[in-house]
Every structure is written in structure tokens, then in C-alpha cells.
Amino acid sequence: MTDSLQASADSSVEPAYDLGEDRPWEDPAPSRGLLEVFRRRYLLKLLVRREISARYSGSFLGLIWSYINPLSQFFIYFAIIGVIFQLHDSIPNFPIHIFSAIIIVHFFTETFNAGTRSIVRNKAIVKKMAVPAEMFPVASMLVSLYHVFPQLVILLVAVLFMGWTPTLSGVLAVAIALTIIMTLGTAMALFFSAANVLFRDFASFVNILTNFVRFGVPMIYSYTMVGDRFGRFADYYVLNPIADAVMLMQHAFWIGTLTEAELNFDDKGQAVDRLPDHLFTLGFTMIGVSLLVLVLAQYVFSKLEKQIPERI
Amino acid sequence: MAESIRVENVTKEFTLRYHRTFKQVTVALARGRQLSDTFPAVDDVSFTVSQGESIGLMGLNGSGKSTLLKMINGVMRPDHGTVRTRGRIAGLIATGAGFHPQLSGKENIMLNAAILGMSENEIARKYDDIVDFAEIPTKFLQTEVGHYSSGQSARLGFAVAIHVDSEIFLADEVLAVGDKPFKKKCLERMEQVRDSGRTLFYVSHAGGSVKRMCNRVLILEQGRLIFDGDVKEGIKVLKYDDERPEDEEHFDSDEELGADI
């Protein structure tokens, strides 16, 4: 026996391995779904940390990239839509309007895209270790959430310059918006990550879907325009949870930067809101809807889960 | 003795897909060819293991050993039948899987240990033991695992896996890597595991090390359990014993330490 073995043998006192008769029989592959993910929070934390530090490893600018990405998108929309299409004139404080939307859209598309690929990307683990596969889409969502905060900081600095003051309803609106995206993003990531194992086509399909997301929310156009062009169909527009999350963000940041005069305007001089009525009711309803979608996604996931280790 | 693993009529079928893309599927359909076929990787296998037994699982390549082990480990679920276990399961299966080349040795130890089911406290408690066992110089632990030699990263994976507390210890692909002193150390460590009363499930092609480690042998052939019983008889069934005479058996022989892949 070598010395080092002696040392390691002595320092780890072997516990007594006696099962006794009362130890229950267990299924080695329990399907507790997302609950199992919360039970293994520490592993989740490490996976999230791994993603965050690995995403920009070997890069000189590192975390600064998560500021640069949304900023570049912002400037593109700002220049094309604002300057060329001249939306600056019809939407007051257009940059804030766009940027509060970009944060939500970016959060959702990142979660959706990265989450869809997450299980395939962690092939090495999924194939050989008994880890709940739900862990990976959830981790993708948390990584995307982590990158939301630097963007919020940029937005906060900008609106503070424009005379914005924080309100309680604003804080609530942000919380609701993030909750909707977290829930819905996890649900979509969960469903498509399992589907992507069976057919890699789904990752490409998700790419197309995320394009629709960008234009299905009031980001480069305003909600007022939707009402103007579509009339009563605007009622259906607000059934899109992501659009509601975007408008909640705009309620929190954009509305606060507008002047009295900009808030109420209409060709007949009538007071018209820039955002739908009952925004908070809508928000809470959409949290409920997203939770429902999550339950559904979990159900489908559990059905597909059995095939994951062999099909991956 | 209390039972610790119960496998009842377990069958696992794999699907062979001959055609994967849209084009291939269309062509195959047009020509009336078969799109897929299934075969049983594990076929109606039943056995029970008592606590403290050490089982050698043997069989030729492709006989279903790893699939069976994966079902006991909980990575795969059987199509038919049930697998039930009592107590925590751990072991040397795919050691180092999930190592991230861009993370440091220390970060990888923690992540890998957490994947294997260790809690935060358990990792903190055993971290030094793991490092000692892996024999990786402290200065390397802060550098990326991608820069390690393949032996070093394999040792690291091993060291983590062997430190997980469990009542059932599974070992597959053991001793395929590492230099001779390290292999020897691992084998000795596994003997400690066996002697501590844990249930040992050992997959190996090396008849000598099975003889040394196990008191019962299961043999799979094309997914079916064809033998369950005494070690020497089992090795005879597999005809692994006529490779060399008995009296040459000593610890350092390659048969005992042999690579398992």
C-alpha cells in the first residue's frame, strides 16, 4: 500500500453501511420533474455558474459583451426604425420604448434558444449520469436572467437622466413582467429541449419562432398604433403574454419619462392611454396562463424523457 | 441479509433507425424498405442482490452490461419490468463526464461531485481527500482542465467518483485509464468499498480482478442473463480462464488490472 493511499484511507472514516429492514425501496429513476431540480439547488447553482463563466471565457471583454449585445441591437433599431422610418416623431422617448422592450424580448429569446439546445449540449452528462434533465433548460433560463440585470442597470441610468422617479407600481410591473418570461421561457425551453433531442430540426424551428417574437410585441411600433390599425383586434393582440410583459416594462420605465402632454393625446383631444387598460389584471392572468403552459410542458417532457438518454 | 437491488423481468429495447433525414425516409417509404427495427439490449432479466454482496457483471461487448447498469443507476428506465434499489447509488461510471475544459480543476471537482449527488457540505468535507487521491499538484487545480494531461483529468474524475458515499457502488469502465500505481490504488480502494459492507456491482472483462473482487457473477449474452452464481464457474462459462494457467495469478498481472473498454 502506498503512503498516500494510507492517508486517504485513514482520513475518511467509512460509515457503517447497514440498510436495516425499514429502508424503503426506491425507483432509481424517479420522475419528480421540476421538483427534483429545486431539490438539487446546489447543482443548479453550479451549472448556472459554469455557464456564466464559460460563456465568455477566453474573451478579453468578458461580461462586457452582455452589455454590448443589447446595446448594438438597440442602436440598429434606433437608427433604422427611428431615423429612417421616422418613428421618433410619433412615439415620444422612442429609445426608452425600444430598450425596455429589448430587455424582455432578449431575455425570452435567449432562454428559448439556449434552453432548446441545452440538453443536447450537455449530452455527456445526460447520457451517463442520473441527473434530472429538466435541470438544463432551467439553468439556461437562469443564465439569461442573470444577463438581464446589466441591461436593467443601463435602462435605469437612462431613465433617471430623463427625470423618471421610481414608483411602487413600476416595481410590481417589472416583477410581473420577469415572472411571465421566466415561467413561459422555462416552459418553452422545457418542451423544445426534449423535442430537439428527438429531432434536431426543432432548434432551427425555434430560431424562426424567435423572429416572430421580435415583431409580435410593441417594440419598434407602439401599442397605440396597434389600436389605430387593427381596431378591436387589439383585444387579441394583448393575449400574447410576451407583449404584455413588454408593456408592463414600458409601464414601469417608459411611461414615467413622458410629460403630461405626451401622455394624453388624441385627434379629438380625448385622453387616450398609451398602454392597454387593466394592464395589471392582464399581467396576473398571463402569469396564470404561463404556469398552465409550464404544467403542460412538464407533462409532455415527462412523456419524452424516457427516450432522451438513448436518442441523444 | 437485507436486499439492496431488485431487478424484475427487466427488458430494454433499443430502436435502430436506418433512415433519419426527410429525404432518406421518403426514399425508403417509396421503395417499401423498413424504416426502423428494435432489438432487446436487455431481455427479461431478473435477479436480486443482498446488501454487502459483490457482483461481477460479465459478458462480451454489446451483451447489455452497460445498459443494465444504466438502469440500476437510474440513467435509463426499463421498457418492461421494474428496477428497485435501497440506499444511495454511486460509483465509477463515466467518471469525469461533464468535465468542462474551460473550468478550473477545483470548479470541476465541485460540479462533478454535485452531479454525482454530493451536497455542498459533503463536498467541502471531502475536497482535500479528493485532491489527495487524484495526486494533482495544487498549482494545477486553479488552471483549466482543458490543459491537463488525459491521465490527470481521468484521475480527477476517478477521485471524485470514488469519494461519493453510497450504499450501492457501481463500477464500469474501471481501470481503463491511469498509470499502473494509480490503477493499483483504485483496485485497493474498491476492495475497501467491498469490505465496508457496501453492495458492489462490478463490470469487467478481466477474469482475474472479478475473481479477486467478487463473490458472485452474472453473465449476460445478447441481453439475456445466462449465468448467475459462483465466480469460478462463471469465468469457465465465459471461457476467460483458459488464457493462462492459474498459478501465475498475482496482483500486478495485466489481466487483473486490464483495461476494460
Confidence class for position A110, pLDDT limits 50, 70, 90: very high
A chain contacts of residue B120, beta-carbon cutoff 8 Å = 42
- Taking the Cβ of residue B155 and every Cβ of chain A, the question of whether any pair is shorter than 8 Å is answered with no
Mean pLDDT value of segment B26-41 = 85
**A-chain residue closest to B167, CA distance:** A17
Which residues span the domain enclosing A218? Answer: 32-311
The CA-atom distances, in angstroms, between B189 and each of A11, A278, B151 are 13, 66, 18
Residue A199 is assigned to a structural domain of this protein: yes
Residue A130 is assigned to a structural domain of this protein: yes
Residue A138 is assigned to a structural domain of this protein: yes
Helix (H) or strand (E) holding B11: strand B3-17
Q: What is the pTM of this model?
A: 0.86
The CA-atom distances, in angstroms, between B20 and each of A205, A249, B13, B47 are 17, 44, 19, 37
**B-chain residue closest to A309, CA distance:** B76
Residue A22 is assigned to a structural domain of this protein: no
Distance CA B86, CA B74 (A): 13
B74 Cα to chain A: minimum distance (Å): 4
Mean pLDDT value of segment A247-255 = 93
Residue A79 is assigned to a structural domain of this protein: yes
The CA-atom distances, in angstroms, between B66 and each of A291, B140, B189, B190 are 38, 33, 22, 19
> Tens digit of pLDDT for each residue in B142-162?
888 888 888 888 888 888 988
Question: Cβ contact (<8 Å) for A129 and B129?
Answer: no
Query: Can you give the pLDDT at residue A67?
Result: 79
Confidence class for position A134, pLDDT limits 50, 70, 90: very high
Query: Can you give the pLDDT at residue A307?
Result: 85
- pLDDT at position A291 over 90: yes
Amino acid at B182: F
Of A53, A219, A242, A43, the residue nearest A146 (C-alpha) = A53
* Most confident among A195-199, B31-35, B175-179, B253-257 (mean pLDDT): A195-199
DSSP states of A192-212: HHHHHHH-THHHHHHHHHHHH
Chain B, window 208-227: residues with a beta carbon less than 8 angstroms from a chain A beta carbon: none
The residue among B13, B66, B70 with the most chain A CBs within 10 A of its CB, best to mutate, is B70
Question: Cβ contact (<8 Å) for A309 and B6?
Answer: no
In the block, cell 427495427 appears at: B37
Mean pLDDT value of segment A18-26 = 72
Residue A173 is assigned to a structural domain of this protein: yes
Residue A14 is assigned to a structural domain of this protein: no
- Residue that wins the pLDDT comparison between A227 and B7: B7
Residue A17 is assigned to a structural domain of this protein: no
Query: Can you give the pLDDT at residue A44?
Result: 94
What's the number of domains chain A is made of?
1
Terminal CA-to-CA distance of chain A, rounded, Å?
42
